[in-house]
A and B are shown apart, each in its own frame.
Chain A
């Protein structure tokens, strides 16, 4: 009996060890084909139709059942063959078809680690682990495995153990501030308002038009058509869009709720989320730059959020690479200084001025004039569609007029400057204002561009290319050409120096 007990214990411990290096069992379901439920539905339908006559059901559907078993069998084999090994200095994963792909990642080479959970994963205590290195040739994630929460946390702690020894500074997002600022300045909310306005106007125009035409043409059948009401569709679409926006806003808010960012010796540890917590580790030496982003309204009220460009962070669906969510600009600058002291904001050395406004707004103004002019012409040809044309005209011109206003602000706030090893770029890209803090060695290319008009006015556009998974261009436009070239030359970027002709 004692021998049997001992062997059972050995078997149990072996099974435990075997399972501890495998993915979460839910992965078996994920490995099956996505549209398997269509086959399951059809099988269930036949089973109900045959009044649960199992024998007859098996005889009639044996081929479908064999296919189903094969799919589950293959998924199970895949789950068995995909596993990972955790060493003291590295993680080795066996992934891909039957675990044929072996990936070795040393902890020292890791740029970022992300532990992500959705609502379903949270209930099943399942967690997806993403590990990214700074290998620029790999655009997708280096390692992606689905594990139990406890095992995922074990990997997380093993990788971050060095950083845990000295936590220098902890940033905690103010929840009330986050909620209020998100409500006031979220682009999702403003987008929803614009879309709902469009739909409401469309519904009003359609309804009026419909009534007029009904009265004019089909007076006798009014009671039939009245019930069909096309305006109802616009109303339903409006409600659906409002609901989707609210759901998206709430889920986005929950994802960044209670965000904390801890500065460790070599990693930044970012945690966020209500219920399903997300954990991220960002290696500080692999961070490309800090981005203080603002919309026009946020700029008016001195509000901003701080995002970080680091391989693997913020590239997943519905993820933002924020380390400091929406807060006051003063707070953001202070917190960024404490979290990542190696990134400093420098004083602008070259700035645009009010004289640059025409250059900045000429394109948006011309673009805004196109729909207005087109609307005026259309009104002459189709006077009976005047209301609809004016509505479309306003709706098309509005974003471009808004862009013109944003560009006026951009014309007086674009700048860049160097200070030792640090570079700060302030520019506006479409509707968003960016203030980039980066180190000189992260610049991979600088281009100075001049068109004939810029040559005439002595201005130019400086394009900074920085390291990263994707090409990211920072366009600082409308700056003085001569002063720009001098500043770049003083900082080691001599763009028009002398050379020995070798043609």
Chain B
């Protein structure tokens, strides 16, 4: 029986997302002020309302996404739970994973903007917003499973 480890999305990401959103909001307001001299008032109101709708949706949806996201990883399978309005439970057998990609963005040790991508033939699974340690651990576990599979099958794929 292989051990299944559960990873949850990094909560710090929400804080940094809010910081980025606040920066974007400030920049947008400044840009709106700059163009207010030569753009009609009603157009400005429409743009402002649209932007407010986008920001409110993002600010509401992102924390829900982070709260919902969880990844169960073992050497035989990877389970993902993601989404905010439509919740999706996913199952990826490690026997179908061909390679693992780990994306670590600059300052991700603070922000938590790290991603692990499992590349299977005909499917791609993304495990977003994990800490650096978690990203390394997940990558190592799946890589170990791939190596084990190749050793057992003499370098051939399982269906051969």
Q: Which residues of A contact B96 (CB under 8 A)?
A: 443-445, 467
Please provide the chain B residues from 64 to 94 with a CB less than 8 Å away from any CB of chain A in the complex: 72, 74, 77, 79, 81, 83, 85-93
A321 → B minimal CB distance (Å): 15
Residue of B nearest to A495 (CB): B89
Known interface pairs A447-B89, A465-B122; A498-B158 also in contact (CB < 8 Å): no
Assembled-state Cα–Cα distance A488/B86 (Å): 20
Q: Pick from A145-153, A241-249, A448-456 the stretch touching chain B.
A: A448-456
Q: Which residues of B contact A136 (CB under 8 A)?
A: 98, 121-122
Contact B86 A451, beta carbon cutoff 8 Å: yes
Interface residue from A439, A442, A444, A466 paired with B92 (Cβ < 8 Å): A444
Contact A441 B122, beta carbon cutoff 8 Å: no
Q: Any chain A CB within 8 A of the CB of B95?
A: yes
Known interface pairs A439-B159, A450-B87; A467-B121 also in contact (CB < 8 Å): yes
Q: Any chain B CB within 8 A of the CB of A502?
A: yes
Contact B123 A495, beta carbon cutoff 8 Å: no
Contact A444 B89, beta carbon cutoff 8 Å: no
Contact A471 B7, beta carbon cutoff 8 Å: no
A477 → B minimal CB distance (Å): 12
Contact A441 B98, beta carbon cutoff 8 Å: no
Q: Which residues of A contact B98 (CB under 8 A)?
A: 136
Assembled-state Cα–Cα distance A444/B90 (Å): 11
Q: Which residues of B contact A469 (CB under 8 A)?
A: 122
Interface size class of B (residues with CB under 8 A): 35 or more
Contact A500 B4, beta carbon cutoff 8 Å: yes
Contact A441 B158, beta carbon cutoff 8 Å: yes
Per-residue 0/1 for A156-169: is the Cβ within 8 Å of any B Cβ (1 yes, 0 no)?
Answer: 00000000000000
Contact A472 B88, beta carbon cutoff 8 Å: no
Contact A503 B89, beta carbon cutoff 8 Å: no
Contact B3 A465, beta carbon cutoff 8 Å: no
Contact A502 B90, beta carbon cutoff 8 Å: no
- What is the interface of chain B mostly: helix, strand, loop, or mixed? strand
Please provide the chain A residues from 120 to 147 with a CB less than 8 Å away from any CB of chain B in the complex: 136
Contact B124 A471, beta carbon cutoff 8 Å: yes
Contact B79 A442, beta carbon cutoff 8 Å: no
Q: Which residues of A contact B136 (CB under 8 A)?
A: none
Assembled-state Cα–Cα distance A470/B87 (Å): 25
Q: Any chain B CB within 8 A of the CB of A468?
A: yes
Q: Which residues of B contact A472 (CB under 8 A)?
A: 122
Please provide the chain A residues from 278 to 302 with a CB less than 8 Å away from any CB of chain B in the complex: 285, 288
Q: Any chain A CB within 8 A of the CB of B147?
A: no
Per-residue 0/1 for A466-503: is the Cβ within 8 Å of any B Cβ (1 yes, 0 no)?
Answer: 11111110000000000000001000011111111111
Q: Any chain B CB within 8 A of the CB of A350?
A: no
Q: Which residues of A contact B81 (CB under 8 A)?
A: 496
The list of the 6 closest CB pairs from A to B, nearest first, reads A465-B123, A499-B6, A444-B96, A444-B120, A499-B4, A445-B123
Q: Could you tell me which B residues sit within 8 Å of A by CB distance?
A: 3-8, 72, 74, 77, 79, 81, 83, 85-93, 95-96, 98, 120-125, 134, 137, 158-160
Known: A444-B121, A499-B5. 4 other contacts (CB 8 A): A445-B92, A494-B91, A495-B79, A495-B89
* 30 residue pairs A–B, Cβ–Cβ below 8 Å: A439-B159, A441-B158, A442-B159, A443-B93, A444-B92, A444-B120, A444-B121, A444-B122, A444-B123, A445-B90, A445-B120, A445-B123, A449-B86, A450-B87, A451-B86, A452-B85, A465-B122, A466-B122, A467-B120, A470-B122, A494-B77, A495-B90, A496-B89, A499-B74, A500-B3, A502-B5, A502-B6, A502-B134, A503-B7, A503-B8
